[in-house]
Structure 1
Protein backbone atom coordinates (compact mmCIF):
# COMPACT_ATOMS: atom_id res chain seq x y z
CA UNK A 1 0.00 0.00 0.00
CA UNK A 2 2.37 2.70 1.25
CA UNK A 3 5.16 3.15 3.77
CA UNK A 4 3.01 5.51 5.88
CA UNK A 5 0.77 4.56 8.75
CA UNK A 6 -1.06 7.28 10.62
CA UNK A 7 -2.28 6.24 14.04
CA UNK A 8 -4.78 8.14 16.11
CA UNK A 9 -7.73 10.30 15.20
CA UNK A 10 -8.39 10.49 11.44
CA UNK A 11 -7.77 13.94 9.97
CA UNK A 12 -10.71 16.31 9.76
CA UNK A 13 -9.57 17.74 6.43
CA UNK A 14 -7.10 16.55 3.82
CA UNK A 15 -6.52 18.32 0.52
CA UNK A 16 -4.56 17.34 -2.53
CA UNK A 17 -4.50 16.66 -6.24
CA UNK A 18 -5.21 13.61 -8.37
CA UNK A 19 -3.57 13.22 -11.76
CA UNK A 20 -4.26 10.49 -14.31
CA UNK A 21 -1.22 10.00 -16.52
CA UNK A 22 -1.69 8.37 -19.93
CA UNK A 23 1.19 7.92 -22.39
CA UNK A 24 3.50 10.04 -20.18
CA UNK A 25 1.15 13.06 -20.20
CA UNK A 26 -1.46 14.29 -17.73
CA UNK A 27 -4.80 13.18 -19.21
CA UNK A 28 -6.95 14.39 -16.31
CA UNK A 29 -6.28 16.39 -13.14
CA UNK A 30 -8.39 17.54 -10.23
CA UNK A 31 -8.01 18.86 -6.71
CA UNK A 32 -9.83 17.19 -3.83
CA UNK A 33 -10.85 17.57 -0.22
CA UNK A 34 -11.49 14.60 2.04
CA UNK A 35 -11.36 13.77 5.73
CA UNK A 36 -13.98 13.35 8.42
CA UNK A 37 -15.51 16.79 7.72
CA UNK A 38 -16.28 15.66 4.16
CA UNK A 39 -18.14 12.47 5.14
CA UNK A 40 -21.84 12.10 4.40
CA UNK A 41 -22.23 9.74 7.38
CA UNK A 42 -20.52 10.04 10.74
CA UNK A 43 -17.20 8.20 11.10
CA UNK A 44 -18.35 6.34 14.22
CA UNK A 45 -21.46 5.03 12.42
CA UNK A 46 -19.45 4.03 9.33
CA UNK A 47 -16.89 2.09 11.39
CA UNK A 48 -19.60 0.39 13.48
CA UNK A 49 -21.30 -0.81 10.30
CA UNK A 50 -18.06 -1.90 8.65
CA UNK A 51 -16.82 -3.89 11.64
CA UNK A 52 -20.20 -5.51 12.25
CA UNK A 53 -19.16 -8.03 9.58
CA UNK A 54 -17.53 -11.07 11.17
CA UNK A 55 -15.01 -11.42 8.33
CA UNK A 56 -13.40 -8.12 9.34
CA UNK A 57 -13.33 -8.72 13.09
CA UNK A 58 -10.10 -10.61 13.71
CA UNK A 59 -7.69 -9.50 16.45
CA UNK A 60 -4.37 -8.31 15.08
CA UNK A 61 -5.65 -7.54 11.57
CA UNK A 62 -5.13 -4.08 10.15
CA UNK A 63 -7.61 -2.64 7.66
CA UNK A 64 -7.11 0.33 5.36
CA UNK A 65 -10.30 2.35 4.99
CA UNK A 66 -10.42 4.83 2.13
CA UNK A 67 -13.26 7.22 2.82
CA UNK A 68 -13.38 8.85 -0.58
CA UNK A 69 -13.15 12.41 -1.75
CA UNK A 70 -15.20 15.13 -3.40
CA UNK A 71 -13.58 14.73 -6.83
CA UNK A 72 -14.00 12.07 -9.51
CA UNK A 73 -12.69 11.80 -13.06
CA UNK A 74 -15.94 10.02 -13.95
CA UNK A 75 -18.01 13.07 -13.05
CA UNK A 76 -15.82 15.11 -15.39
CA UNK A 77 -16.63 12.74 -18.25
CA UNK A 78 -13.18 11.13 -18.19
CA UNK A 79 -12.86 7.34 -18.61
CA UNK A 80 -9.94 5.40 -17.17
CA UNK A 81 -7.99 3.07 -19.47
CA UNK A 82 -5.65 0.11 -19.06
CA UNK A 83 -2.17 1.24 -17.99
CA UNK A 84 -3.27 4.71 -16.88
CA UNK A 85 -1.22 5.76 -13.86
CA UNK A 86 -3.07 7.44 -11.01
CA UNK A 87 -1.01 9.83 -8.90
CA UNK A 88 -2.56 11.06 -5.66
CA UNK A 89 -0.76 13.86 -3.86
CA UNK A 90 -2.05 14.47 -0.33
CA UNK A 91 -0.46 17.92 -0.11
CA UNK A 92 -1.60 18.62 3.45
CA UNK A 93 0.18 15.48 4.66
CA UNK A 94 3.21 15.27 2.38
CA UNK A 95 2.18 11.85 1.04
CA UNK A 96 2.14 10.81 -2.62
CA UNK A 97 0.72 7.51 -3.89
CA UNK A 98 0.81 6.09 -7.42
CA UNK A 99 -0.93 3.11 -8.95
CA UNK A 100 -1.13 1.77 -12.48
CA UNK A 101 -4.49 0.46 -13.74
CA UNK A 102 -4.27 -3.25 -14.53
CA UNK A 103 -7.59 -4.93 -15.35
CA UNK A 104 -6.40 -8.52 -15.63
Structure 2
Protein backbone atom coordinates (compact mmCIF):
# COMPACT_ATOMS: atom_id res chain seq x y z
CA UNK A 1 0.00 0.00 0.00
CA UNK A 2 1.31 3.46 -0.83
CA UNK A 3 0.52 6.74 0.86
CA UNK A 4 -0.54 9.71 -1.24
CA UNK A 5 -0.67 13.13 0.37
CA UNK A 6 -3.04 15.86 -0.77
CA UNK A 7 -3.82 19.33 0.43
CA UNK A 8 -7.48 19.59 1.31
CA UNK A 9 -8.22 21.96 -1.59
CA UNK A 10 -6.75 19.91 -4.45
CA UNK A 11 -8.12 16.48 -3.68
CA UNK A 12 -10.14 15.10 -6.61
CA UNK A 13 -12.55 13.30 -4.28
CA UNK A 14 -13.30 16.44 -2.29
CA UNK A 15 -14.10 18.31 -5.49
CA UNK A 16 -16.61 15.61 -6.40
CA UNK A 17 -18.12 15.73 -2.91
CA UNK A 18 -18.54 19.49 -3.10
CA UNK A 19 -20.34 19.26 -6.44
CA UNK A 20 -22.59 16.31 -5.61
CA UNK A 21 -25.89 16.90 -3.79
CA UNK A 22 -26.33 15.54 -0.27
CA UNK A 23 -29.07 13.09 -1.25
CA UNK A 24 -26.99 11.42 -3.93
CA UNK A 25 -27.45 7.73 -4.73
CA UNK A 26 -23.74 7.10 -4.16
CA UNK A 27 -24.06 6.97 -0.36
CA UNK A 28 -23.86 3.15 -0.22
CA UNK A 29 -20.33 2.95 -1.72
CA UNK A 30 -19.18 5.59 0.77
CA UNK A 31 -20.30 3.32 3.61
CA UNK A 32 -18.20 0.52 2.11
CA UNK A 33 -15.17 2.82 2.01
CA UNK A 34 -15.69 3.63 5.68
CA UNK A 35 -15.66 -0.09 6.49
CA UNK A 36 -12.34 -0.43 4.67
CA UNK A 37 -10.96 2.51 6.63
CA UNK A 38 -11.96 0.80 9.86
CA UNK A 39 -10.13 -2.39 8.83
CA UNK A 40 -6.82 -0.50 8.79
CA UNK A 41 -6.62 1.25 12.12
CA UNK A 42 -5.11 4.71 11.66
CA UNK A 43 -4.88 5.17 15.44
CA UNK A 44 -2.45 2.24 15.63
CA UNK A 45 -0.31 3.81 12.90
CA UNK A 46 -0.24 7.16 14.71
CA UNK A 47 0.63 5.54 18.07
CA UNK A 48 3.53 3.58 16.54
CA UNK A 49 4.88 6.70 14.84
CA UNK A 50 4.50 8.76 18.04
CA UNK A 51 6.71 6.31 19.96
CA UNK A 52 9.65 6.74 17.57
CA UNK A 53 12.20 9.42 18.38
CA UNK A 54 12.05 12.49 16.15
CA UNK A 55 8.74 11.56 14.49
CA UNK A 56 6.30 13.25 16.86
CA UNK A 57 5.55 16.00 14.34
CA UNK A 58 4.48 13.33 11.83
CA UNK A 59 2.05 11.86 14.36
CA UNK A 60 0.61 15.29 15.19
CA UNK A 61 0.18 16.11 11.51
CA UNK A 62 -1.53 12.77 10.85
CA UNK A 63 -3.93 13.38 13.75
CA UNK A 64 -5.07 16.59 12.06
CA UNK A 65 -5.48 14.88 8.66
CA UNK A 66 -8.24 12.85 7.05
CA UNK A 67 -7.71 9.47 5.40
CA UNK A 68 -9.20 7.53 2.50
CA UNK A 69 -8.02 3.96 2.23
CA UNK A 70 -8.57 1.42 -0.52
CA UNK A 71 -6.76 -1.81 -1.33
CA UNK A 72 -3.58 -0.24 -2.72
CA UNK A 73 -3.56 3.38 -1.54
CA UNK A 74 -3.78 5.36 1.64
CA UNK A 75 -4.69 8.94 0.74
CA UNK A 76 -3.83 11.49 3.40
CA UNK A 77 -5.65 14.82 3.15
CA UNK A 78 -4.06 17.58 5.16
CA UNK A 79 -6.03 20.60 6.31
CA UNK A 80 -3.29 23.21 5.88
CA UNK A 81 -0.44 23.92 3.50
CA UNK A 82 1.97 23.86 6.44
CA UNK A 83 0.99 20.27 7.30
CA UNK A 84 1.13 19.32 3.63
CA UNK A 85 4.66 20.69 3.32
CA UNK A 86 5.77 18.78 6.44
CA UNK A 87 4.47 15.44 5.13
CA UNK A 88 5.27 15.83 1.45
CA UNK A 89 9.05 15.49 1.70
CA UNK A 90 10.69 12.42 0.13
CA UNK A 91 12.06 11.30 3.50
CA UNK A 92 8.68 11.42 5.27
CA UNK A 93 6.79 9.88 2.33
CA UNK A 94 9.25 6.97 2.29
CA UNK A 95 8.97 6.64 6.07
CA UNK A 96 5.15 6.57 5.94
CA UNK A 97 5.11 4.01 3.12
CA UNK A 98 7.53 1.76 5.02
CA UNK A 99 5.54 2.11 8.26
CA UNK A 100 2.24 1.30 6.52
CA UNK A 101 3.78 -1.76 4.86
CA UNK A 102 5.22 -2.89 8.20
CA UNK A 103 1.95 -2.56 10.11
CA UNK A 104 -0.60 -3.54 7.49
- TM-score w.r.t. the length of structure 1 is 0.25
For the pair shown, the structure with the greater C-alpha radius of gyration is 1
- TM-score w.r.t. the length of structure 2 is 0.25
User: Which structure ranks higher in relative contact order (CA pairs < 8 Å, sequence separation ≥ 6)?
Assistant: 2
- The structure carrying a bigger helix percent of its residues is 2
- The structure carrying a bigger strand percent of its residues is 1
